[in-house]
Amino acid sequence: MHLLHRCFRRLLVASLLIPFLISAAAFAQSTNRQIGTQFEVTADPPVSRPHGKPCVVSLFANYTFAHFSDTTQTFQFTPPANCSGPWKKVVFEADFSENGGTQFDRTASMFLANANIYFGTTPEPLSSATNTWHIERDVTDYAALFSIPQQGTIVLGNCTTDCPPPYNTFLNGVFTVNADLEFYPDDGHGSGDRGSDDRSSDDHGRGDDHHHRPADAVLPLVQSNGSGGINLPAFLFHPTDQFSTTFMLPTNIERLYLDVVSQSQSTDEQWYACFPNDLASINEVYGCGNTDFRETEITIDGNPAGIAPVSPWVFTGFLPDQWIPMPGAQTLDFVPYRVNLTPFAGMLNDGNPHTVSLSIFNDDGYFAESASLLLYLDHGSTTVTGALTKNTLTVPAPVVTENLQGTSTVTGTIGVTSNRRFTIAGYVNTSHGKVSTSLSEHQNFSSTQTIDFDTVNFTVLDQQTAVQNDVSTKTTVSRGGDTALTVDHFSFPITVNLILPVSSSPFGLTVDTTQRYHTDSKVSFGDELATFNSVTNSVHSTDVSPAASSQSYTAFDSDGTFYNCQIASNNNTLTKVSRSCSENHDHH
């Protein structure tokens, strides 16, 4: 175990044995924006709803997670009898609570018919007060799952008295969860949404018209657990590991997408600060290798089919005293990355089995995974022909540059870059004519690790991490003489400045973190702009005395929706909530 890992474990155990308010906050759409408190809080908006009363179906109520035996619990879903589809919108909601006490942050995920509908992490508890948080997400695209009775699963691994020693003597945090689905009937009178922001604008790659109707089929990838069941979520421990499923697909697919969540765990938890393997002898801070470049690779029948950048989510256990009262961007509610696989539709319609696989480039152990295919079918035809006409995607080849000086004291920089462009194109012959789709994508990754290390005693370990990953995609869809162009941008940079030693810090070190998640999309026909949306979620947090944090969330779109909220804290207490957090600017 590396020095810093030993330091963390020793200090963490010692500090958890006494009451304290150092906890790791987590969020989704928080209702605890109370200035002067330490309750979990976020600037994130709620999901917008159509006007009218929804039909609400409870998934489960008061499920508790205290022991390893509670980790996986199932529930039965039955569609609402009083408002059958189609639905204008379907919203998933979950309410979590955790008693005051001591506990680690945990991963939580929910599945319906093995398709993921929620993935995130939990907070570490407050010392004495019960903590609560609320999750919402727009799952309208997954409406095909809700048309028939299904079995669902919630997975939340936790332990108290059944933890291994010494944790069984002091971990006592217990989670209680309730969840439901809200169904808004489609009255055929336009959107009429209320609220500040449609969650779909927070998801990547929804540039064409497919977000105006749900997928016709949702097909999850599944991974065998070797005992007759499946792993929920799936696990990838090495770069050669494959999360694969072979499907017999419909023969009238017109468009298809893959929603991907790749959550870093264990050694790879802070993958964005990993070193190249040749520097293992001085790799004493984060302990992970294979450089700091990670990427989810998607293949179809073994051939490259798409990429999904790995989001640098910061979990609340690193460091707990940094994340009060607000967490990092998306810490409790991961946003899936949507990969457009439409150019492969014609190839997949041949009636033969096809295998869709995921792997993690540079995985150093390990990643938790979920992925679901969303199929949009040609309702006017039972068989759609077509072909993949171009695919220049290859595996990444990141370039490493080391500029280090010294032996007993090592200073300098380690840089990694991956800059590539590729095009994937194909067509389908549908009941309404030939439709051609071409994706031109530019992936641009760059990172710099700036270090100042005492490599003899490891008493000085200063590491500044700066990672930037941008993905830009131009998607051209041609139908007859009409052409639509969608331009998508995704970026999720992170900077982390870790300084050790700091004698005044309870953990012996300080961490300063900045994240800025951003997506935008615009669709145009010729010179005419049809739609656009943009989301920016920025978080800065530091435990350098005095501890302080801030979050700014801005979202707007061509429908006239605008949301802008800023919150801030000092000394782990909420000090600012902008008036705009409770204001709605919606001009439908």
The CB density around residue 421, as the number of other CB atoms within 10 Å, is: 12
Give 501-523 pLDDT, tens digit per residue: 998 888 889 999 999 999 999 99
Q: What is the mean pLDDT of residues 543-555?
A: 92
Res. 85 pLDDT band, cuts 50 70 90: confident
Assess whether pLDDT exceeds 60 at residue 336: yes
Assess whether pLDDT exceeds 50 at residue 497: yes
- pLDDT for 194 equals 40
- pLDDT for 213 equals 86
- pLDDT for 189 equals 52
Assess whether pLDDT exceeds 70 at residue 68: yes
Assess whether pLDDT exceeds 90 at residue 471: yes
Look at residue 249 and give its three-state secondary structure.
coil
What's the residue count for the chain?
A: 588
- pLDDT for 588 equals 41
Assess whether pLDDT exceeds 80 at residue 29: no
Assess whether pLDDT exceeds 60 at residue 193: no
- pLDDT for 504 equals 85
Residue 559 to residue 533: CA distance in whole angstroms: 9
Res. 157 pLDDT band, cuts 50 70 90: very high
| Buried b / exposed e along 345-365 (16+ C-beta atoms within 10 A) | bbbbbeeeebebbbbbbbbbb
In sequence order, what are the beta bridge partners of 519?
A: 490, 535
| Buried b / exposed e along 24-36 (16+ C-beta atoms within 10 A) | bbbbbbbebbeee
- pLDDT for 48 equals 92
Find the range with the poorest average confidence among 66-70, 148-152, 206-210, 524-528.
206-210
Residue 578 to residue 541: CA distance in whole angstroms: 18
- pLDDT for 179 equals 98
pTM comes to: 0.91
In sequence order, what are the beta bridge partners of 514?
A: 495, 540
- pLDDT for 481 equals 86
Residue 583 to residue 563: CA distance in whole angstroms: 8
255: alpha, beta or left, given left = phi > 0 and alpha = psi -120 to 50? Answer: beta
Residue 544 to residue 547: CA distance in whole angstroms: 5
Res. 190 pLDDT band, cuts 50 70 90: very low
For the chain, give the percent of residues with pLDDT over 70: 89
- pLDDT for 38 equals 87
Q: What is the mean pLDDT of residues 276-291?
A: 96
- pLDDT for 491 equals 98
* Cα dihedral: 248, 250, 254, 255 (round 10): -40
In sequence order, what are the beta bridge partners of 60?
A: 179
Assess whether pLDDT exceeds 50 at residue 20: no
Assess whether pLDDT exceeds 70 at residue 262: yes
- pLDDT for 30 equals 53
- pLDDT for 6 equals 36
Cβ contact 488:337 at 8 Å: no
Q: What is the mean pLDDT of residues 144-162?
A: 97
Assess whether pLDDT exceeds 50 at residue 204: no
Res. 584 pLDDT band, cuts 50 70 90: low
Assess whether pLDDT exceeds 50 at residue 19: no
C-beta pairs of 281-285 under 8 Å, 24+ apart in sequence? 281/455, 282/410, 282/451, 282/453, 282/455, 283/2, 284/2, 284/3, 284/4, 284/453, 284/458, 284/461, 285/2, 285/4, 285/461, 285/463, 285/498, 285/500
Of 102 and 85, the one with more pLDDT: 102
- pLDDT for 12 equals 32
Tokens of 374: 């969303």
| Buried b / exposed e along 471-502 (16+ C-beta atoms within 10 A) | bebebebbeeeeebbbebbbbbbbbbbbbbeb
For residue 7, give the DSSP letter: H
Residue 318 C-beta-side C-alpha neighbours within 13 Å: 22
Assess whether pLDDT exceeds 80 at residue 474: yes
Assess whether pLDDT exceeds 70 at residue 448: yes
For the chain, give the percent of residues with pLDDT over 90: 80
Q: What is the mean pLDDT of residues 361-386?
A: 97
Find the range with the poorest average confidence among 156-170, 187-201, 318-332, 429-443.
187-201
Assess whether pLDDT exceeds 90 at residue 288: yes
- pLDDT for 506 equals 82
Whole-number mean pLDDT of the chain?
90
For residue 506, give the DSSP letter: T
